[in-house]
């Protein structure tokens, strides 16, 4: 008989199933012995295969003390006869010990399970199984007895924890006693089922979740511009409009305590579980304008900022300055794409629309019509958080991230790029951005000051390489090449941001600017090459030392004039101060300022500006934090004549 057809092999193949379902086995046993007990040896072998009850005793030798010719009159007699078998059997613990069983045999896996999982098989003294021999009636009875013992063992284990009748009576009495309460609970469950079904039908989206942030701040500023410096091109210097006689620029004034806010709602949508569409709405109540242009009727008065009130705002918009809060928009009330009024007064606007999706195992792409450099490039600085970290614009992010409107905070730029995780600890990211991608026609200055189209006008190509040589040390290296249709840096960090390269216009250049020196200087194409580096060292789980530096080379396209700019900072942050999740930081550095000129460019600055800042972020709860902070600016905007500025801030942030 071949191995695949032998009763022993069939039994071995079926026994694991029987052990898992002993109740079915018992039923089969009863039916079997009711009708088939007196069948022939061949039928017995078939039932062995059906019952699959081949424990150790079923593999005894043909030479055992059981004599097939001797009738058995009692179970005890059968047991006595079987006592001889174990002495000649050898218990095996692995199917590999059976020399005549090969991995290619049909029943190999079944035997392996019986031997190694259940321990139900014994072999001959010579370590063989002899699966081809037919089983006898005695072997069948012995196997049946051992299988029933195994079944009883399994049943006993399965029913050991069955509830007793007395326990059921107690439960019944408790059910009757608390019938009213149970009915109430049942009613609540049914009501919840109805509400759940309603929510499922009326839910906003199955693919989108909502997150949000609300920031409130009390702030003021002291140390106003004293006035009288015609070389300082600021929001009170009307000499930039032309005229034969120089006019002494008006002084600024200290700011009152103001109450500002910014609210952001972000819809995060995933269509595949691996992609992400970010749709962001925001509203804020910041204002800004330049008295130079509002007084001349060029631009409407759209309120004041801390910077423009003190007299340290830029000459065009009154917003770019050293005196800026971290969460204040770069252009709060004017769209620089077309000089139209927008934002402010808590009007709702789209500030982010960005889609991020995987391309390959380590490659992710992104594209959007309203994006920020900070959406793609991670900041190395530990306090780089507008709601929880540093309180000033200068300290929050390095200038290399902000150049060319990279962090306008109003979604000024359209951008596309990639994120490439080269290896563990090495991350490369790059993007192409345009602040005029939505405009079909280029009307020039002042119609479309930044240009038009994706490729005709202002643009930036930026990249960042992030290195983490150890778990406690991070390095970020930045480079950006930019072209702007107008003479600006686009960082919002200094009044020199607008009219970045100053020069004395010729008569022809003045004529093209309508006879206004400001327009002759501003309406010039400029190229920028920006280099940046940031480092963070976690000297302990709670303390991080960090710093960054940005160097900008700029030159005009049609005028022989160039100016270089520098900005740097260093500081440290301590986590879990006062409350778990809170932090405190101290930062010192030099805001963006001119450090060299070439060609016809002039540098009116007389001193290097410096800024010192401290903040304490107190986590009131998981969703609420309060951050008192103060930053002090020495030689603001690069002029030693300017008074030291003090800006106290109390910021409260709600996240949900």
Task: Quick: pLDDT tens for 485-540.
Answer: 999 999 999 999 999 999 999 999 999 988 999 999 999 999 999 999 999 999 99
| Residue 274, φ and ψ in degrees, nearest 5 | -115, -15
Residue 183 sits in the same domain as residue 239: no
Q: For residues 279 and 265, what is the distance between their CA atoms, to the nearest angstrom? A: 8
**Cα torsion angle, 229, 232, 235, 240, sign:** positive
Mean pLDDT of all residues in 345-358: 95
Q: Which of 38-42, 144-148, 239-243, 250-254 has the lowest mean pLDDT?
A: 38-42
- Boundary of a domain, candidates 559, 578, 604: 559
pLDDT value, residue 223: 97
Per-residue pLDDT for 132 more than 80? no
pLDDT, one tens digit per residue, over 211-220 is: 999 999 999 9
State what percent of residues in the chain have pLDDT above 90.
61
More confident residue, 369 or 168: 369
In sequence order, the 6+-apart residues with CB closer than 8 A to the CB of 266 are 210, 211, 212, 278, 279, 280, 281, 352
pLDDT score of 77: 39
Does residue 598 lie within any of the structural domains?
no
- 14 pLDDT above the threshold of 50: no
Q: How confident is the model at residue 652 (pLDDT cuts 50, 70, 90)?
A: very high
Inform me whether the pLDDT recorded for 415 exceeds 50.
Answer: yes
Q: Is the dihedral of CA 468, 474, 475, 476 positive or negative?
A: positive
Are 68 and 179 in the same domain? Answer: no
Q: Which of 57-61, 160-164, 640-644 has the highest mean pLDDT?
A: 640-644
Q: How far is CA 435 from the centre of its chain?
A: 26
Q: Tokens in use for 142?
A: 């012995």
How many residues does the structure list for the chain? 656
The more confidently predicted of residues 655 and 11 is: 655
In a domain, 575, yes or no: no
Quick check: 130 pLDDT over 80?
no
- 102 pLDDT band, cuts 50/70/90, is confident
Give the single-character DSSP code of 290: -
Please report which helix (H) or strand (E) contains residue 13, including its range.
helix 7-20
Query: What per-residue confidence (pLDDT) applies to 70?
Result: 42
Contacts of 357 (CB under 8 A, 6+ apart): 274, 275, 276, 364, 365, 366
Which pLDDT does position 494 carry in this prediction? 97
Longest dimension (CA), the chain: 139
Q: Which structure tokens are listed for 573?
A: 């942050």
List pLDDT tens digits, range 434-444: 999 999 999 98
Q: Identify whether the C-beta of residue 221 lies closer than 8 Å to the C-beta of residue 254.
A: yes
Give the pLDDT of residue 351: 95
Of the two residues 141 and 556, the one the predictor is more confident about is 556
Output the six-digit token pair for 564: 């270089």
pLDDT of residue 168: 74
Q: Which residue has the higher pLDDT, 177 or 561?
A: 561
pLDDT band at 367 (very low <50, low <70, confident <90, very high): very high
Burial group, residue 358, by CB count within 10 angstroms (0-12, 13-18, 19+): middle
pLDDT score for 436:
93
- Do 180 and 267 sit in the same domain of this protein? no
Same domain, 458 and 492: yes
Q: What pLDDT shows up at residue 7?
A: 40
Element (H, E) at 141: helix 137-158
Q: What are phi and psi of 492, to 5 degrees?
A: 75, 10
**Is residue 417 a part of any domain in this protein?**
yes
Q: Are 195 and 139 found together in one domain?
A: no
pTM for the predicted model, two decimal places: 0.71
- pLDDT score of 352 more than 90: yes
Please give the pLDDT value at position 181. 83
35-71: b (≥16 Cβ within 10 Å) or e: eeeeeeeeebbebbbbbbbbbbbbbbeeebebeeeee
Domain span at 175: 165-202
Phi, psi angles (nearest 5°) of residue 585: -145, 150
Mean pLDDT of 6-15: 42
Same domain (yes/no): 486, 545: yes
Residue pair 559/503 in contact (Cβ under 8 Å)? The answer is: yes
Partners of 540 in the β-ladder: none
| CB atoms closer than 10 angstroms to residue 485 | 24
Mean pLDDT of 589-595: 98
Q: How confident is the model at residue 66 (pLDDT cuts 50, 70, 90)?
A: very low
pLDDT-derived band at 221, boundaries 50, 70, 90: very high
pLDDT at position 521 is 95
| Residue 567 placed within a domain | no
Prior bond of 446 cis (ω within 30°): yes
Percent of the chain having pLDDT more than 70? 78
- Among 196-205, 271-280, 331-340, 455-464, the minimum mean pLDDT is found in 196-205
Q: How far is CA 211 from CA 275, 276, 621, 656, in A?
A: 17, 14, 17, 6
Q: How far is CA 62 from CA 58, 65, 131, 139, in A?
A: 11, 9, 13, 10
Give a yes or no: residue 30 inside a domain.
Answer: yes
Does residue 645 fall inside a structural domain? no
111-117: long-range contacts, CB 8 A cutoff, minimum separation 24:
111/12, 113/16, 114/12, 114/15, 114/16, 114/54, 117/16
**DSSP tag of 116:** I
How many whole angstroms from its chain centre is CA 96? 52
User: Would you say residue 58 has pLDDT above 60?
Assistant: no
Across the range 55-71, mean pLDDT stands at 39
Amino acid 137: pLDDT = 65
Average pLDDT over residues 574-583: 94
Residue of 526, 524, 498, 497 whose CA lies nearest to 509: 524
| 171 and 40 together in one domain | no
Residues 231, 195, single domain; the answer is no
CA distance 595 to 611: 17
Which of the four pLDDT bands, split at 50, 70 and 90, describes residue 148?
A: low
Q: Are residues 196 and 229 in the same domain?
A: no
Q: What is the pLDDT of residue 91?
A: 54
3-state secondary structure of 289: coil
* Mean pLDDT, range 243-269, rounded to an integer: 92
Instruction: Write the CB contacts of 495 (distance below 8 Å, at least 6 apart in sequence).
Output: 232, 233, 234, 235, 307, 312, 313, 314, 315, 320, 321, 322, 637
What is the band of 245 on the pLDDT scale with cuts at 50, 70, 90? confident
Query: What is the average pLDDT value for the chain, to the nearest integer?
Result: 83
Rounded to the nearest 10°, the torsion over CA 637, 638, 641, 645 is: 40
Number of domains in the chain: 3
C-alpha R_g of the chain: 42
50 vs 565 pLDDT, higher one: 565
Indicate whether 146 and 230 sit together in one domain: no
**What local confidence, expressed as pLDDT, does residue 157 receive?**
67
| 604 in a structural domain | no
- Residue 622: inside a domain, yes or no? no
- Output DSSP code: residue 54: -
Average pLDDT over residues 160-172: 71
pLDDT at 563 exceeding the cut of 90: yes
Assess contact for 592 and 497: CB atoms under 8 A: yes
Among 559, 592, 617, give the residue marking a domain's end. Answer: 559
CB 459 within 8 A of CB 482: yes
Looking at residue 393, what is its pLDDT? 97
Task: Compute CA distances 171 → 102, 163, 166, 167, whole Å.
Answer: 56, 10, 9, 6
Q: What are the DSSP E strand ranges found in 226-346?
A: 258-269, 276-284, 334-335, 340-341
Rounded to the nearest 5°, which phi and psi values hold at 71?
A: -65, 150
Q: Which residue do the tokens 């962090």 mark?
A: 407
Asked if residue 551 and residue 408 are part of one domain, the reply reads: yes
Q: What pLDDT does 61 receive? A: 36
Q: What is the pLDDT of residue 20?
A: 45
The answer on 427 and 341 residing in a single domain is: yes
The Cα–Cα gap between 90 and 92 comes to 6
pLDDT-based confidence at residue 26 (cuts at 50, 70, 90): very low
Top-confidence residue, 172 or 398: 398
Cα 418 from Cα 73, distance rounded (Å): 87
Q: Which of 498, 531, 559 is the last residue in one of the domains? A: 559
Task: Evaluate if residue 400 carries a pLDDT over 80.
Answer: yes
Predicted local distance difference test score (pLDDT) of residue 569: 98
Instruction: Confirm if 640 and 607 have CB atoms less than 8 A apart.
Output: yes
């Amino acid at each position: 008989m071949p191995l695949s057809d032998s009763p022993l092999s069939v039994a071995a193949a079926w026994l694991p199933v029987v052990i898992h379902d002993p109740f079915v086995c018992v039923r089969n046993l009863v039916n079997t012995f009711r009708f088939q007990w007196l069948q022939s040896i061949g039928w017995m072998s078939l039932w062995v295969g059906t019952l699959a009850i081949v424990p150790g005793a079923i593999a005894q030798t043909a030479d055992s003390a059981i004599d097939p010719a001797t009738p058995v009159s009692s179970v005890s007699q059968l047991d006595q006869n079987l006592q001889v078998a174990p002495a000649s059997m050898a218990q095996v613990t692995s199917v590999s010990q059976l020399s005549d069983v090969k991995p290619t045999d049909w029943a190999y896996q079944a035997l392996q399970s019986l031997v190694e999982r259940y321990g139900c098989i014994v072999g001959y003294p010579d370590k063989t199984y002899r699966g081809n021999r037919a089983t006898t009636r005695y072997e069948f009875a012995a196997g049946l007895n051992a299988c029933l013992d195994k079944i009883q063992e399994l049943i006993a284990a399965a029913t050991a924890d069955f509830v007793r009748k007395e326990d059921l009576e107690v439960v019944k009495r408790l059910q009757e006693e608390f019938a009213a309460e149970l009915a109430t609970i049942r009613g609540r469950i049914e009501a919840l089922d109805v509400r759940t079904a309603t929510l499922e039908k009326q839910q906003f989206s199955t693919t989108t979740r909502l997150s949000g942030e609300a920031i409130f701040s009390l702030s003021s500023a002291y140390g106003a511009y004293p006035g009288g410096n015609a070389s300082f091109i600021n929001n009170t210097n009307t000499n930039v409009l032309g005229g034969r006689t120089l006019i002494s620029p008006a002084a600024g004034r200290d700011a009152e305590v103001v109450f500002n806010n910014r609210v952001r709602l972000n819809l995060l949508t995933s269509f595949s579980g691996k992609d992400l569409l970010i749709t962001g709405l925001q509203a804020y109540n910041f204002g800004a304008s330049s008295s130079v242009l509002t007084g001349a009727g060029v631009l409407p008065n759209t309120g004041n900022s801390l910077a423009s009130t003190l007299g340290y705002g830029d000459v065009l918009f009154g917003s770019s300055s050293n005196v800026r809060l971290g969460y204040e928009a770069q252009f709060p009330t004017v769209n620089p794409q077309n000089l139209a009024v927008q934002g402010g007064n808590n009007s709702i606007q789209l500030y982010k629309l960005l889609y991020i999706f995987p391309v390959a195992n380590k490659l992710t792409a992104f594209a959007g019509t309203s994006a920020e450099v900070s959406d793609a490039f991670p900041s190395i600085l530990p306090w780089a958080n507008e709601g929880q970290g540093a309180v000033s614009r200068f300290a929050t992010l390095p200038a290399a991230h902000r150049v060319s409107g990279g962090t306008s905070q109003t979604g000024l730029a359209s951008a596309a790029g990639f994120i490439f995780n080269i290896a563990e600890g090495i991350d490369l990211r790059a993007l192409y951005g345009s602040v005029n991608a939505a405009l079909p026609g280029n009307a020039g200055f002042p119609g479309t000051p930044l240009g038009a189209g994706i490729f005709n006008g202002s643009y930036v190509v930026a990249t960042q390489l992030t290195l983490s040589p150890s778990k406690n040390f991070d390095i970020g290296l930045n480079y950006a090449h930019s072209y702007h249709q107008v003479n600006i840096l686009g960082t919002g960090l200094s009044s020199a941001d607008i009219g970045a390269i100053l020069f004395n216009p010729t008569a022809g250049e003045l004529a093209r600017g309508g006879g206004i020196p400001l327009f002759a200087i501003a309406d010039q194409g400029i190229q920028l090459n920006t280099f940046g580096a940031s480092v963070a060292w976690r000297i302990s789980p709670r303390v991080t030392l960090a710093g960054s530096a940005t160097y900008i080379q700029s030159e005009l396209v049609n005028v022989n004039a160039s100016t270089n700019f520098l900005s740097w900072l260093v500081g440290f942050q301590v986590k879990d101060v006062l409350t778990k999740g809170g932090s405190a930081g101290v930062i010192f550095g030099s805001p963006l300022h001119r450090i060299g000129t070439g060609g016809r460019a002039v540098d009116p600055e007389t001193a290097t500006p410096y800024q010192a800042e401290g903040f304490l972020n107190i986590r009131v709860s998981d969703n609420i934090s309060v951050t008192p902070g103060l930053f002090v600016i020495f030689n603001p905007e690069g002029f030693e004549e300017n008074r030291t500025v003090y800006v106290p801030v109390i910021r409260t942030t709600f996240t949900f």
